[in-house]
Amino acid sequence: MQETDPPPPEGRVPNLAFGGAPTIRDVARIADVSIGTASKALNAGGRLSQETRDKVLRVAREIGYRPNDLAQSLHRAKSRTIGIISNDSFGRFTFPIVEALEERLAEEGMAVFMCNATDDPARERQHLDQLLGKRIDALVVTARRADKRAPIGPLAHGLPVIYVFSQADDPNALSLLPDDEGGAVLAVAHLAALGRKRIAHVTGPEHFEAVRLRRKGYRSVLAEAGLPEIEGFYLSGVWSEAWGREAAARLFSGPQTPDAIFCGNDQIARGACDTLREIGLAIPADVAIVGFDNWDVMVLAARPPLTSIDMNLKALGREAGDSVLEMIAGRKLSGVRRRPCSLVVRASSKP
């Protein structure tokens, strides 16, 4: 490779290491100062004549010098790098989180190694090992999981670990999660405020903690508003449109029919809408609908567009970034933190 490349400008012969990236030694040699002086100039520290400083900086710019973070890290015993292990294949939920987290850390000059383990413990183990080798400063574990997971490990002594959108069976760990129960409360309270009296809840599989929490929120609002929990108005199934369609059909074939449905996700909500329209019921006039996730592709394409609960995953990711930085700075954080959801009102529940 080196042979076929054109010679570097000005006849200088850079180091061959790392694709010929110039080192501080090169800078020092060309600027005709010592390495120590060059370092001082480049790091804007210490006492140095303006002249020397300028000369060094000019040379550095000219030859395209970029300090080698590997060497810096080695010296500082900090890699300024973190690892993320995902078990969701970086899916729909993990993405916004990771994106915001990466953005937050990039602001501080930290970089992110991303690893996908897809729920395979062996791969998780292998990735973790690799990350430890890279001497990451912190580890973030994320996943779309039904329930608590086994804590990751064993890890380096004192390595900060944060579980986001995921929760570990470890009292010393920090978990960041959306407040599913609060989100459900927002949704159902909204429907109740609309004057709806017969509110049904169609949701996903109960082995998801989120399903249980949202149901809890649903029930608490009913109780508080003095609304009845009607037999057959709670339906647990799967996270699909097909289930939403089926569940809606079931609801409207019973002795009592709802005037509002709170759905466990947007796909279910959209399915429900389709069935209602086919039955000839008007949304929201006859039945108001609220979904969960605020997934643009679903809520906007549904007819009518869906009111939904937004889990504010980007905010969650950003906060995870903040926590990572705090923990790297030495603070010990632990416990489960649940962050508020928000209600986004659209036509499916417009008053």
Partner DNA sequence: TTGAAAGCGCTAACAA
Partner DNA sequence: TTGTTAGCGCTTTCAA
Binding residues vs DNA (CB under 7 A): 15, 17-18, 23-25, 33-37, 39-40, 42-43, 45-49, 51-53, 65, 67-68, 71-72, 74-77
Q: Which is nearer to a copy of itself, 167 or 275 (CB)?
A: 275
Other C-beta atoms lying within 10 Å of the C-beta of residue 196: 22
39 binds, among a copy of itself, DNA, none (CB under 5 to 8 A by kind): DNA
| Position 184, amino acid | A
Crossing angle (nearest 10°) for helices 24-31 and 35-42: 110
Residue 37 binds which one of a copy of itself, DNA, none, with CB within 5 to 8 A depending on kind? DNA
Distance of CA 169 to the CA centre of its chain: 20
Other beta carbons within 10 Å of 191: 29
CA–CA dist 351, 347 (Å, integer): 8
CB 107 to DNA: min, Å:
20
Shortest reach from residue 26's CB to DNA, in Å: 7
Which partner from the list DNA, a copy of itself, none does 116 bind, CB cut-off 5 to 8 Å by kind?
Answer: a copy of itself
Instruction: Select from a copy of itself, DNA, none the partner in contact with residue 12, using the beta carbon and a kind-dependent cut-off of 5 to 8 Å.
Output: none
102 or 179: CB nearest a copy of itself: 102
Beta-carbon-side half-sphere exposure of residue 205 (alpha carbons within 13 Å)? 8
What are the DSSP calls for 144-168, one per residue? --SS-BPPP-S--TT--EEEES--B
Residue closer to a copy of itself by CB (options 11, 133) is: 133
Alpha-carbon distances, residue 194 vs 137, 233, 344 (angstroms): 50, 18, 15
> Which is nearer to a copy of itself, 189 or 249 (by Cβ)?
249
Q: How far is the CB of 248 from a copy of itself (least distance, A)?
A: 14
Beta strands in 59-142 (DSSP E): 81-86, 111-116, 138-142
Task: Tell me how far, at minimum, the Cβ of 72 lies from a copy of itself, in Å.
Answer: 8
φ/ψ bin of 308: left (φ > 0), alpha (ψ from -120 to 50), beta (otherwise): beta
For residues 24 and 9, give the distance between their C-alpha atoms in angstroms, rounded to a whole number: 18
HSE-CB of 293 using CA atoms within 13 angstroms: 24
CB of 182 to a copy of itself, least distance (A): 27
Query: Which C-beta is closer to a copy of itself: that of 217 or that of 244?
Result: 244
Structural tokens at position 2: 């080196």
Name the binder of 23 from a copy of itself, DNA, none, CB < 5-8 A by kind. DNA
Which of DNA, a copy of itself, none is residue 90 near (CB under 5 to 8 Å by kind)?
a copy of itself
| Residue numbers at the binding site for a copy of itself (CB under 8 A) | 1-2, 4-5, 8, 14, 16-21, 64, 66-71, 73-74, 77-79, 81, 89-91, 95, 98-99, 102-103, 106, 109, 111-116, 123, 126-127, 129-135, 154, 156-159, 240-242, 267, 270-271, 297, 300-301, 330, 332
Judge contact between 25 and 60, C-beta under 8 A: no
Report the partner that residue 271 touches, choosing among a copy of itself, DNA, none (CB closer than 5 to 8 A by kind).
a copy of itself
- Output the smallest distance, CB 270 to a copy of itself, in A: 8
Q: How is residue 9 annotated by DSSP?
A: G
Q: What, of a copy of itself, DNA, none, does residue 149 touch, CB below 5 to 8 Å by kind? A: none
Nearer to DNA, 77 or 285 (CB): 77
* Contacted by 43, from DNA, a copy of itself, none: CB < 5 to 8 Å by type: DNA
Shortest approach of DNA to residue 69 CB, angstroms? 8
Choose among 306, 324, 343: nearest CA to 136.
Answer: 324
Q: 18-48 burial, b for 16+ CB within 10 Å, e for fewer?
A: eeebbbbebbbbbbebeeebbbbbbeeeeee
Rounded to a whole number of angstroms, the minimum distance from the CB of residue 323 to a copy of itself is 16
